[in-house]
Amino acid sequence: MQLDEAERDALDNPVWAALTTRQSGLAVGGGLARRYPAEIGPFCAVREPSAQAFAALHQLAGDGGPLILVSAGPLPPLAQFQVRPLGSACQMLAAALEPAPPSVDFTRLGAADAHEMQQLAGLTRPGPFARRTHELGEFIGIRVQGELVAMAGERMRPGSCVEVSAVCVHPQHRGAGYARALTQAVGSAIVRRGSLPFLHVFTANTPAIALYGQLGYRTRRVLEVFELTPITPAP
């Protein structure tokens, strides 16, 4: 699938693109800065890295908890925030992915499973996962003797793309192919709906990058991930 200029721009600033288009109904903020509600997650974005935009973002920081910003480049000096780089992340697209039938039995997850999903994410740390993160898209999981041991789902929706996210497996159940099967199932469902799957993975996570490469994902570019903690509370 060839990306046009608008789609490339959307993927260069994926949180902003998602919160100004297909997920605008979830957005907190306005024309310069936006974030997801805290109970959905800490991801935020600015329209462009200007002093005015970061001042607007500071207003959205709430009780002082850290925000997560994904950027196409380094950030300017920020007086309002303590900035902690979290690392570089490969943005990978599955342009050649073909829908595939499920290779394992999985169950669809929702509000009734939210607590278990948070527990699994807290144990395996696939990325921020809050009380209402499951509302961002379809999530599926694998249960063994009733226990949720693996899951994957959808997060950002910039342009014509849908992000595969929260791919995680309980440490006691790794090696069974669950991550591969769930990633393929989520991506296949996205393709069947006419969208393009993509994902983010830290460059240091070479096993995951290798797995996604085997599934047809290719690195489009590398983005930087920052944690922003307000130095002073927003007025």
Summarised one tens digit per residue, pLDDT across range 100-141 is 777 788 999 999 999 999 999 999 999 999 999 999 999 999
Residues 136 and 63 in one domain: no
User: What is the model's pLDDT at position 235?
Assistant: 52
Neighbours of 176 (CB within 10 A): 14
- Give a yes or no: residue 50 inside a domain: yes
Q: If pLDDT is split at 50, 70 and 90, which confidence band does 183 have?
A: very high
Residues 58 and 167 in one domain: no
* First-to-last C-alpha distance (Å) of the chain: 46
Residues 103 and 141 in one domain: yes
DSSP string, 142-208: EEETTEEEEEEEE----TTEEEEEEEEE-GGGTTSSHHHHHHHHHHHHHHHTT-EEEEEEETT-HHH
Domains identified in the chain, total number: 2
Residues 81 and 105 in one domain: no
Residues 102 and 125 in one domain: yes
Residues 129 and 209 in one domain: yes
User: What is the model's pLDDT at position 233?
Assistant: 62
Range of 37's domain? 5-88+223-230
Residues 66 and 102 in one domain: no
Q: If pLDDT is split at 50, 70 and 90, which confidence band does 96 have?
A: confident
Q: If pLDDT is split at 50, 70 and 90, which confidence band does 65 have?
A: confident
Q: Strands 81-93, 67-71: parallel, antiparallel or unpaired by DSSP?
A: unpaired
Owner of token pair 């902003």:
16
How many Å apart are CA 111 and CA 16, to the nearest integer? 26
The model's pTM is: 0.93
Residues 65 and 10 in one domain: yes
Beta pairing partners, 69: 44, 226
Residues 77 and 166 in one domain: no
- Give a yes or no: residue 235 inside a domain: no
- Closest listed residue to residue 212, CA positions, set 149, 157, 152: 152
Whether the predicted pLDDT of 8 surpasses 70: yes
Residues 99 and 201 in one domain: yes
Q: If pLDDT is split at 50, 70 and 90, which confidence band does 202 have?
A: very high
Residues 79 and 127 in one domain: no
- Closest listed residue to residue 17, CA positions, set 198, 213, 141: 198
Q: Which two tokens stand for residue 193?
A: 């709906």
